[in-house]
């Protein structure tokens, strides 16, 4: 495993005010990240849950399409609250509700390594859920700089399923929404910073409801970043090991002299077992001219939960990388820890590349 050069807990929920008095902040995690001026712009997923608890009823928050917060009360005896700390399963319908809602918030780290949300110049606007596809929130932003604009994919969660939307900005103040680019269920959409053979490229993660195989990452092409085709399976389908329960792209690829470098994540929960498993990450190198071809893979994982704040939190044992920024000879990796806070760690870029074996 390549050595971490440093690890910092960058931001936690206790440092943030809720967006509504009916909510408390329980997570500030899974940050998108991009170089911005001499520092780093971060888009943080802020996770909030209702403060009030009912007698015999469980609160499930949602936003109306025009952005108003509503709290539904689910009769406790019709709810499985044990299987997953993130969701309730309604017994009578088999359907899920999230226990929380998520929105996004901009932060600026002057050195990429520290953040002080009490400083006005380090905090930017909130991006709140809106429309029919974001009822249960927007999650897990990934930012890719393309020709001077920051393009951001977000996971949109609603009764229609888990889909992925595209936004863009040049100043992290005003955002343009480009709508859904991958329909349900699909998440972990990562855009490449450069075209290949004239096409924009994205990694994505379809989540088939019929389990004919193990989870997979896919790759697609587009002429305009909005309409995607040429879909192909890229990686995954492992019935055993650290990525058997889930596998998805994590950090938007960066172009190196050995190809596109990207971190991916997965969970090792054995089939049929309750809980969410341990989330760890591997590194992958894709050919620069033909990114459908994997040219290198890390031997084992490059990141796993070791620090206290990575092992204990809202969901234990989760490291979930979501941004990577080159700083000198290092690659700074921004990640969600235990679905509760943001961490940043760094690798020597050459060492990380060396950890990828040719395949
Ligand atoms: C899923 C998503 C992420 C979350 C991880 C770990 O992949 O809900 O947002 O961080 O699980 O719980």
Q: Is the pLDDT of residue 275 over 80?
A: no
Q: What is residue 242's DSSP assignment?
A: T
Which atom number of ligand 1 is nearest to the Cα of residue 140? 9
Per-residue pLDDT, 226: 98
Which atom number of ligand 1 is nearest to the Cα of residue 265? 7
- Nearest by Cα to 339 from 48, 19, 24: 48
Task: Report the pLDDT averaged over residues 174-193.
Answer: 98
For the ranges 8-22, 38-52, 116-130, 269-283, which has the lowest average pLDDT? Answer: 269-283
Q: What percent of the chain has pLDDT over 90?
A: 90
Q: How confident is the model at residue 269 (pLDDT cuts 50, 70, 90)?
A: confident
Per-residue pLDDT, 241: 84
Whole-number Å distance, alpha carbon 289 to ligand 1 midpoint, is: 31
Per-residue pLDDT, 181: 98
Distance CA 88, CA 75 (A): 11
- Nearest by Cα to 69 from 27, 44, 103, 107: 103
Distance CA 154, CA 304 (A): 24
Summary mean pLDDT of the chain: 96
Task: Report the pLDDT averaged over residues 318-341.
Answer: 98
Per-residue pLDDT, 237: 79
Which atom number of ligand 1 is nearest to the Cα of residue 276? 12
What confidence tens digit (pLDDT) does each residue in 7-30 have? 999 999 999 999 999 999 999 999
Q: Is the pLDDT of residue 207 over 90?
A: yes
Whole-number Å distance, alpha carbon 141 to ligand 1 midpoint, is: 12
Cβ density class 274-295: b for 16+ within 10 Å, e for less: ebbbbbbbbbbbbebeebeebb
Task: Report the pLDDT averaged over residues 342-356.
Answer: 97
Q: How confident is the model at residue 238 (pLDDT cuts 50, 70, 90)?
A: confident
Q: Which residues line ligand 1 (CB under 6 A)?
A: 30, 139-140, 276, 279, 315, 318, 320, 336, 339
Per-residue pLDDT, 56: 96
- Report whether 205 contacts 188 (CB < 8 A): yes
């Amino acid at each position: 495993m390549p050595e971490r050069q440093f690890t910092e807990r960058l931001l936690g929920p206790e440092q943030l005010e809720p967006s509504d008095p009916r909510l408390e902040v329980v997570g500030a995690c899974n940050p998108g990240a991009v170089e911005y001026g001499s520092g780093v712009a971060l888009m943080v997923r802020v996770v909030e849950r209702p403060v009030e608890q009912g007698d015999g009823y469980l609160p499930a928050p949602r936003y109306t399409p025009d952005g108003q917060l509503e709290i539904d009360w689910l009769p406790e005896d019709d709810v499985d609250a044990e299987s997953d700390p993130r969701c309730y399963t309604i017994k009578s319908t088999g359907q899920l509700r999230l226990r929380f809602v998520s929105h996004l918030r901009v932060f600026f780290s002057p050195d990429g390594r520290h953040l002080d949300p009490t400083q006005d110049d380090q905090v930017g606007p909130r991006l709140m859920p809106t429309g029919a596809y974001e009822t249960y929130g927007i999650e897990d932003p990934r930012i890719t700089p393309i020709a001077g604009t920051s393009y951001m994919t977000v996971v949109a969660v609603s009764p229609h399923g888990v889909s992925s939307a595209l936004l863009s900005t040049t100043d992290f103040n005003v955002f343009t929404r480009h709508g859904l680019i991958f329909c349900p269920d699909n998440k972990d959409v990562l855009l490449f910073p450069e075209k290949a053979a004239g096409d924009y490229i994205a990694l994505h993660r379809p989540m088939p409801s019929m389990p004919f195989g193990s989870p997979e990452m896919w790759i697609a092409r587009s002429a305009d970043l909005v309409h995607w085709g040429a879909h192909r399976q890229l990686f995954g389908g492992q019935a055993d090991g650290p990525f058997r329960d889930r596998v998805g792209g994590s950090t938007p690829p960066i172009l190196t002299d050995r190809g596109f470098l990207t971190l991916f994540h997965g969970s090792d929960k054995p089939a049929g077992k309750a809980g969410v498993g341990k989330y760890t990450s591997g590194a992958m190198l894709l050919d620069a001219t033909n990114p459908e071809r994997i040219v290198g893979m890390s031997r084992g994982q490059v990141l796993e939960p070791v620090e206290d704040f990575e092992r204990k939190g809202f969901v234990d044992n989760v490291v979930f990388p979501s941004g990577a920024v080159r700083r000198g000879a290092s690659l700074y990796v921004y990640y969600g820890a235990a679905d509760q806070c943001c961490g940043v760690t760094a690798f020597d870029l050459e060492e990380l590349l060396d950890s990828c074996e040719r395949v």
